[in-house]
Structure 1
Amino acid sequence: MKKTFYSNGKLLITGEYVVLDGAKALALPTKFGQNLIVEDAENDAFEWKSYDADGSIWYEDTILFKSVINNEQFDNSKSIKNTLIEILHEAYLTNSDFITKSKGYKIATELTFPKFWGLGTSSTLINNIAQWLKIDAFRLLRNSFGGSGYDLACAQNDTAIIYQLVAEKPTVKNISFHPIFSDQLFFVYLNKKQSSKAAISSYYNKQPKIGKTIEIIDAITEILLNTTDPKEFAKAIIKHEVEMSQVLEQQTVQESLFTDFNGVIKSLGAWGGDFVLTISKDNPTEYFKSKGYPVVIPYNDMIL
């Protein structure tokens, strides 16, 4: 019998990095996501195929049940396989029935966004696996891939959320977030997918005493939630960029790449890649195309 599961992609608007230390983060589920399709098979293995948004297969392999049970790891050329085994092994430790009571599976994953966009290839997979096996997605993430978990919360919710770790446990508040100036908001892909794991590791290496920063970021999040003034929104995201620039000891993306942009730009998630948020009076598509960044998506085409 075929079973299909779906999870939303994500964008983190405020609180990147400091969400790990308890800051309130504004996160938005996207209209893009990933399907997981599960069918029974007969060879004590997972016959795995992963499809990109254009229908092409970007990953294909067979993973034996015994490799999952033993958490077998292969050389670095098999990094995707190793990650899948790690996730499935942690799932097995929580609910072994999907292996012990099965003869095998045909698995297909289908992205509705190009996998290099960084909208949650891993988080949507983990949430889909958790749905399939009826286990706690946050626990599965914590024991396998790591991270704050805001992306799982986006995967599970169809509205904007405020996400916070309280005593290291995820709290999710569904909110209404529909800026009246959304026609001035655009998402621009920076032609580079960032590794969340590497970015988090770098953050912890540079992390100062973070309490004051959390207060500042929390206050900015509140402004973004409540303002109806695009100028106030822009000033708040500038302040967010300046604060995180000091924490990370990095230039803001606007300083490093777009000093002549007539508007404001904010990094989203791991700095230096994936998408940025822009606010400007005029449609910035031609500007970014002239700079070599052709993927420019209006807010209302991206966000659920």
Structure 2
Amino acid sequence: MKTYRSNGKLFLIGEYIVMDGAKAFALPTKYGQCLFVKDSSTTGNQISWKALKHDNSVWFEAIFQLDSLDIISTTNEKLSASLQTILKAAQSLNPDIYSTYKSFIIETKLEYPQEWGLGSSSTLIDLISQWNQIDPFRLNQLTFKTSGYDIACAHHNKPLLFSNQPQIQVEELDLNWDFKDQLFFVYLNQKQDTQAVVGNHYKNKPKDLEMIRELSDLVTEATKVNSLFDLEDILDKYQNRLGQFMQIEKPKDLYFSDYKGVVKSLGAWGGDFVLVTYRDGMEDYFKAKGYDTIIPFTEMIL
């Protein structure tokens, strides 16, 4: 049996503008997803697929015909159709991979609660790419068509400065921050349609190239800060400028306006996690509002 593993992701700063070629500051997480592949001759020209949650409960199963990748059976038609698309795209990039064996028995296993949204899709793209020996960025462009920062996080073990224009560029960062113990991630359990609405709002507005350059410069500055104060200042400037452009209130103003520290959405406004900078009483403040999952930076980030 072969085992593959990919990191999850969090997007510190650069959201939305990364799709326009701007810089993005991304954080691979200690939590990720594994793929286990067993070659088999007993099931007969099939791919048997099982997806496990972090607690080993099954959340999805499907069986595919090996040569055609037709769906034989499934517990979820939408998920199996999406997986079928990925497998067919992978097959187009390496047609020989499925002809070597008569069948495959495959399991995936999340290392975190599924609702955290740390990249079950991007890790899957990277895992299938490892198994099929293909470029994950090419597979991503044939399937989910994300900016690619999440794919970069999947197979890099340090924070990243990322851009995708004119081509994919990834720079690993050594964050020698002595204030990491003052950074925390708070899980908001927000509905995903919130971030989709905000994302579409950005896409539908005319491009402001001056703003994109300005915010991209802030992203680069964020990778070079030496103090918590400087990081907080940059995160606030970024959110204020982007909020002004989109004419949308910052998540902090909507939900945590009386909190004295910085609250920064990660990846999308209305997303699953926010970064919070420490102030006295921080844990009590968020727990009083019903947010009990508070994870220190060093426990989450590689």
Q: 1:294 to 1:86 in 2, by over 3 A?
A: same
Residue 12 of structure 2 is aligned to residue 13 of structure 1:
yes
Alignment partner of 1:301 out of 267, 281, 299: 299
Q: Secondary structure, in 3 states, of the residue corresponding to 2:211?
A: helix
What is the CA–CA distance in structure 2 between the aligned matches of 1:138 and 1:286, rounded to whole Å?
Answer: 42
What is the CA–CA distance in structure 1 between the aligned matches of 2:157 and 2:275, rounded to whole Å?
Answer: 20
What is the CA–CA distance in structure 1 between the aligned matches of 2:103 and 2:227, rounded to whole Å?
Answer: 55
Q: 2:243–2:249: 8 Å Cα contact kept in structure 1?
A: yes
Q: Secondary structure, in 3 states, of the residue corresponding to 1:288?
A: helix
State the number of aligned residues: 300
Q: Secondary structure, in 3 states, of the residue corresponding to 2:168?
A: strand
> 1:1-304 residue pairs with structure 2 within 5 A?
2-41=1-40, 42-65=43-66, 68=69, 78-167=77-166, 169-192=167-190, 194=192, 198=196, 202-203=200-201, 205-282=203-280, 284-304=282-302
Post-superposition Cα deviations, 1:127-147, rounded to whole Å, max 9, x if no partner, equal: 011011110100000101111
Q: 2:64–2:72: 8 Å Cα contact kept in structure 1?
A: no
What is the CA–CA distance in structure 2 between the aligned matches of 1:74 and 1:272, rounded to whole Å?
Answer: 35
Which runs of 5 or more residues in structure 1 are unaligned? none
Q: 2:161–2:220: 8 Å Cα contact kept in structure 1?
A: no
Deviation at 1:3, TM superposition (A): 0.4
Q: 1:83 to 1:300 in 2, by over 3 A?
A: same
What is the CA–CA distance in structure 2 between the aligned matches of 1:233 and 1:197, rounded to whole Å?
Answer: 24
Q: Which amino acid aligns with 1:156?
A: H
Q: 1:14–1:217: 8 Å Cα contact kept in structure 2?
A: no
Q: Which amino acid aligns with 2:186?
A: V
Q: Secondary structure, in 3 states, of the residue corresponding to 1:222?
A: helix
Q: Secondary structure, in 3 states, of the residue corresponding to 2:62?
A: strand
Q: Which amino acid aligns with 2:46?
A: A
Deviation at 1:194, TM superposition (A): 2.9
Post-superposition Cα deviations, 1:63-91, rounded to whole Å, max 9, x if no partner, equal: 233553x6x7999x621111101100100
Q: Which amino acid aligns with 1:209?
A: K
What is the CA–CA distance in structure 2 between the aligned matches of 1:196 and 1:266, rounded to whole Å?
Answer: 16
Q: 1:284 to 1:239 in 2, by over 3 A?
A: same
Deviation at 1:187, TM superposition (A): 0.6
Q: TM-score, normalization: structure 2?
A: 0.92
Which runs of 5 or more residues in structure 2 are unaligned? none
Which deviates the most, 219-228 or 229-238? 219-228
What is the CA–CA distance in structure 2 between the aligned matches of 1:158 and 1:283, rounded to whole Å?
Answer: 32
Q: 1:194–1:270: 8 Å Cα contact kept in structure 2?
A: no
Which deviates the most, 33-42 or 227-236? 227-236
Q: 1:74 to 1:21 in 2, by over 3 A?
A: farther
Two-structure CA RMSD over aligned residues (Å): 2.4
Deviation at 1:197, TM superposition (A): 9.7
Deviation at 1:14, TM superposition (A): 1.0
Deviation at 1:200, TM superposition (A): 8.6
Q: Which amino acid aligns with 1:277?
A: L
Q: 1:36 to 1:247 in 2, by over 3 A?
A: farther
Q: Secondary structure, in 3 states, of the residue corresponding to 2:13?
A: coil
Q: 1:295 to 1:82 in 2, by over 3 A?
A: same
Q: 1:8–1:154: 8 Å Cα contact kept in structure 2?
A: yes
Q: 1:26 to 1:283 in 2, by over 3 A?
A: farther
Q: 1:118 to 1:199 in 2, by over 3 A?
A: farther
What is the CA–CA distance in structure 2 between the aligned matches of 1:196 and 1:83, rounded to whole Å?
Answer: 22
Percent same amino acid at aligned positions?
39
What is the CA–CA distance in structure 1 between the aligned matches of 2:198 and 2:170, rounded to whole Å?
Answer: 21
Q: TM-score, normalization: structure 1?
A: 0.91
Deviation at 1:199, TM superposition (A): 6.0
Post-superposition Cα deviations, 1:172-197, rounded to whole Å, max 9, x if no partner, equal: 11111232111111011111363799
Q: 1:178 to 1:115 in 2, by over 3 A?
A: farther
Deviation at 1:122, TM superposition (A): 0.6
Post-superposition Cα deviations, 1:18-51, rounded to whole Å, max 9, x if no partner, equal: 1111111111111111100001233322211111
What is the CA–CA distance in structure 2 between the aligned matches of 1:159 and 1:296, rounded to whole Å?
Answer: 22
